[in-house]
């Protein structure tokens, strides 16, 4: 497991749902097939309306045309990120696009658990309204051992909440890897 994730931030608003994270029309791809799995990343966040995305210039797409991974490695979100259906493909899509961490004020419980159980990404929470303090394109670093997010663009550091009992599963790389490491699966 990485101890930190650095790169550009992509800022979205409140109530981003799983249909916005990976629209249903792209669920025909099979994530078990490497050649098809990349499409989940290509179409990640393609359903988020620009006016909801909280973007400073109003026209920064998450995925550039023709690219298979995003230039953004950290997503900053408001409240209730990942709401909607229980689509397991949502955290997979974000991960396939190259994102390692989502920092939000709160998550839909199913998205949070799918992120950890699948070993896709780290869903960290914050008490701060970061979508008002971080802009898309800011250079950020999430230190997973210190539970901090530093915005290098503005020179400010914010505290993050830990994963609690789910930390061991996340650090193992998902529920199946955790079960193997603890002897529950052989």
Residue 94 placed within a domain? yes
Residue 186 placed within a domain? no
- Quick: pLDDT tens for 122-139: 999 999 999 999 999 999
Counted domains in the chain:
1
Q: How many residues does the chain have?
A: 186
Domain range enclosing 124? 4-181
Q: Which two tokens stand for residue 87?
A: 């689509």
Residue 46 placed within a domain? yes
End-to-end CA distance of the chain: 21
Taking the C-alpha atoms of residue 140 and residue 28, their distance in angstroms, rounded to an integer, is: 34
**What mean pLDDT is predicted for residues 85-101?**
92
pLDDT in the model for residue 85: 81
Taking the C-alpha atoms of residue 161 and residue 84, their distance in angstroms, rounded to an integer, is: 23
> CATH number for the domain including 35?
3.20.19.10
Torsion, Cα 166 171 176 179, to 10 degrees, reads -80
Q: Do 94 and 45 meet the contact criterion of CB atoms below 8 Å apart?
A: yes
**∠87-92-79 over CA atoms, to 5°?**
65
Per-residue CA distances from 35 to 29, 39, 100 (Å): 9, 8, 20
**What mean pLDDT is predicted for residues 64-88?**
91
Q: Which of 43-57, 72-86, 88-102 has the lowest mean pLDDT?
A: 43-57
């Amino acid at each position: 497991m990485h101890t930190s994730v650095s790169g550009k931030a992509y800022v979205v608003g409140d109530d981003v749902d799983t249909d916005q994270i990976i629209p249903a029309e792209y669920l025909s791809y099979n994530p078990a097939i490497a050649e098809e799995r990349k499409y989940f990343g290509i179409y990640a966040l393609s359903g988020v309306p620009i006016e909801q995305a909280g973007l400073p210039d109003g026209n920064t797409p998450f995925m550039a045309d023709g690219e298979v991974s995003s230039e953004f490695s950290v997503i900053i979100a408001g409240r209730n990120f990942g709401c909607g259906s229980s689509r397991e493909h949502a955290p997979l899509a974000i991960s396939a696009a190259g994102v390692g961490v989502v920092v939000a004020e709160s998550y839909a419980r199913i998205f949070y658990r799918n992120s950890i159980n699948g070993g896709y990404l780290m869903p960290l929470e914050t008490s701060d309204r970061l979508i008002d303090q971080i802009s898309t394109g800011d250079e950020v670093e999430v230190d997973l051992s210190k539970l901090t997010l530093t915005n290098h663009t503005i020179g400010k550091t914010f505290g993050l909440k830990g994963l609690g009992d789910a930390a061991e599963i996340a650090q193992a790389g998902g529920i199946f890897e955790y079960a193997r490491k603890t002897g529950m699966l052989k």
